[in-house]
Amino acid sequence: MDDIRHAIPSSSERFMPLLRRHMRESGLAYRSEQTYTHWIKRFIHYHKLRHPRDMGVVEVEEFLTYLSVDKFCAINTQKIVLNALVYLYKRYLELSLEGLNFKPARQYRRLPVVYSQSEIQAILVHLNGTHRLLVELMYGAGLRSAELLSLRIKDIDFGSNNIVVRSGKGNKDRTTILPQALIPALRRQIEKVRILHAEDVAAGFGEVYLPDALERKYPRAASEIAWQFLFPSSRVGPCPRTGVIRRHHLHPSALAKHIRHAVKSAGVHKPARAHAFRHSFATHLLESGYDLRTIQELLGHSDISTTEIYTHVVNRGGKGVLSPMDRLPTPLDSGVSEHCPEYRLAG
């Protein structure tokens, strides 16, 4: 239940619990809270556990330069760390960080990992049941793994052929396409969840975690079938926030494990990443002639420049250019041209 906000002791006066409470009062997404606290802890430990109030611009510059020069971090990582430290000093401690001067990380453009359609078919052969459906949805609807695992039954709209993504990256909602080929499997999955939920209710539990204040607003929703996770965990456990025994969704590590096994078994010599299926979704749509704006909306990108990365990996034969190698006459089986002296000697 890593995506559920842990309870913060109301009586604690320690630094990190107070910082976390400030983040929640400021409305930060839980993923941002986790990321910011991680890097703030790293910053404090790097400076031998000195209190942030006793440090300032010099220490922030030193830490950011250390990440760039000694740890070779990516520029996006350095930006995230900078955002975390700016939040710490400007918003929480209300101290200035003006005039920062640090060694910026180098800007490297990394092309995304994309599987071809034949590779995806080969990978799917080595997946079964729920895990196959999970991968098919990532590829068929362009979902991030966290968005996929957070889906609830009510988010599958068979009437409008849409999948509703709630609180995606940036805490934004969006809709994406519902692949027609997956409708029978999704209906079977929903029926499995219905049976499992009935068993949970009979066993004395059956409530699911609800985000924000929905549990107070809709007190009966937690036990309704519509709010159950589409891909529930095989086990129940205590909620880290309330201690209530509940069934959460599948853990992302279980999905990642099956993907690694399937990619290796399929003989695909590319990194085994869940996110690669989302990249493949975008790339194959672009290859099919769909415009960037449409793909941007389906992926939920706030900036189209993020979507434009797929123009660099789309299968257009090197941006439509025919290699001069492909203009050469077809070589003979011997690999020796008939115009060469070696060919005449061989004859």
What is the predicted pLDDT for the residue at 347? 45
Q: What is the pLDDT of residue 267?
A: 96
Looking at residue 340, what is its pLDDT? 53
Identify whether 169 is a catalytic site residue: yes
Rounded (10°) CA dihedral 132, 138, 144, 150: -60
Catalytic-role residue among 174, 258, 278, 279? 278
Which pLDDT does position 315 carry in this prediction? 58
Domain range list for the chain: 15-92
Task: Tell me whether residue 92 is one of the annotated catalytic residues.
Answer: no
Query: How high is the pLDDT of residue 217?
Result: 75
Residues 6 or more apart in contact with residue 147 via CB below 8 angstroms:
165, 168, 169
> Is 217 a known active-site residue?
no
- The catalytic position among 275, 293, 312, 316 is 275
- Catalytic residue, candidates 144, 247, 248, 279: 144
Q: How high is the pLDDT of residue 99?
A: 86
- Choosing from 174, 249, 258, 301, which is the catalytic residue? 301
* Fold (topology level) of 15-92: DNA polymerase; domain 1 (1.10.150)
Catalytic residue status for 275:
yes
Q: Which residues of the chain have pLDDT under 50?
A: 332-334, 337-338, 343-347
Structure-token pair, residue 246:
């509940």
The pLDDT tens digits of the residues spanning 208-264 come to: 888 766 777 777 888 899 999 999 998 888 877 777 888 899 999 999 999 999 999
Catalytic residue among 42, 47, 166, 169: 169
For residue 237, which phi and psi values (nearest 5 degrees)? -165, 170
Looking at residue 343, what is its pLDDT? 44
Our answer to whether residue 209 is catalytic in this structure is: no
pLDDT value of position 275: 95
CA distances from 68 to 49, 61, 71, 74 (A): 21, 11, 6, 8
- Residue 309's pLDDT is 86
